Amino acid sequence: MKALVKTQAGPGLELVDVPVPTPGPSDVLIQVASTGVCGTDLHIDSWDAWAAARVQPGRVIGHEFSGRVVEVGSAVTDVEVGDVVSGEGHLVCGRCRACRAGRRHLCIATVGIGVQADGCFAEYVVLPAGNVWVHRHPIDLDVAAIFDPFGNAVHTALAFPCLGEDVLVTGAGPIGIMAAMVARHAGARHVVVTDLAPERLALAAELGATLAVDIRTSSAAEAQQQLGMREGFDVGLEMSGSAAALRDMIAQMTHGGRIAALGLPAGEVSIDMATVVLNMLTIKGIYGREMFETWYAMDVLVHSGLDVSGVITDRFGFADHREAFSTARSGSGGKVVLRWSD
């Protein structure tokens, strides 16, 4: 089969022939339909320090996908050949304290497909049946392919109640935009999105943000004035990983405000702890998806009318992976999808 592989310890990826993986007794073999290009994949492609410390050459990369089950292991009882599926790419140990308590997203021994295990940028992928999400209702395969990042958005946006609240989203990347959409769908009054990229801000506005603010020419504080807000934002969703964005978000929160932080900074971040303490703010770190509570929430949101397909702005065949990665790296659009089969 064709697969996108990190063949050597250095920049670049190669589309090569590798054997079709063989499922074990508790696994399923999936014919991949569509895959989403993630920032993690860009790190592995460019071979930065993060990737060099985690990825072994020879690895098939990729962790966001949809597809159809073509084979199931002998011990699999709840997934069938022909099922349309997405997959939870975090493989957990099942034995640590968090796993045994049902908090698998907190597993201390998590292994990620496409990073420490072979991933889905290939014509076929093997996944434990327990990590497979079966779509029981009709769904666009490109949308199903981005359930992983959609889950990040849902996990972040629903970390705190949004009903009737004013929400600030810093970072208008695809996950930030989807988080803004989830917050609106969950009943937020105002959702303000800030970023530096005009194209992404335009997409955020198109997909339902109350205001999309270019912080080079305006600010979240000015957005509050424009919307007639008097006491600050109730909920903050930090999606950018920018130290400046987090510091400004803290300054814009109401007393008792709550911040969910998904964006991963490149280094240490200093914040005004006096403001956090005196204004009684809550800052909660978010990673991945709750297994599988977030997946249930995603499924319900999609089938209750939340259409996230608009966040997908670019689609490529897998042979055009270099152009797809270049488009994703440009930061000028939404989600980029690679198609592997119909």
Which residues line the annotated binding site for NAD(+)? 175, 195, 200, 262-264, 286-287
Give the angle 184-34-204 at the CA atoms, nearest 5°.
Answer: 25
Q: Considering the candidates 40, 110, 170, 294, report the single residue annotated as catalytic.
A: 40
Binding site, residues?
Answer: 38, 63-64, 93, 96, 99, 107, 175, 195, 200, 262-264, 286-287
Annotation says 294 is catalytic: no
CB atoms near residue 74 (< 10 Å): 10
Closest CA relative to residue 159, chosen from 183, 123, 136: 183
Binding site for Zn(2+), residues?
Answer: 38, 63-64, 93, 96, 99, 107
Q: What tokens were used for 282?
A: 């809550």
Tell me how far CA of residue 297 lies from CA of 150, 153, 276, 304, in angstroms.
Answer: 10, 11, 30, 10
Amino acid at 308: V
Annotation says 155 is catalytic: no
**Look-up of token digits 């201390």:** 108
Q: Considering the candidates 22, 35, 43, 294, report the single residue annotated as catalytic.
A: 43
Partners of residue 34 on adjacent β-strands? 66, 339
- Count of alpha carbons within 13 angstroms of residue 175, beta-carbon side: 29
**Look-up of token digits 């920018």:** 242
Q: Taking a C-beta distance cutoff of 8 angstroms, is the pair 267, 142 a contact?
A: no
| Positions of E strands within 158-220 | 166-170, 190-195, 211-214
**Look-up of token digits 């991945």:** 288
User: Which residues have a catalytic role annotated?
Assistant: 40, 43
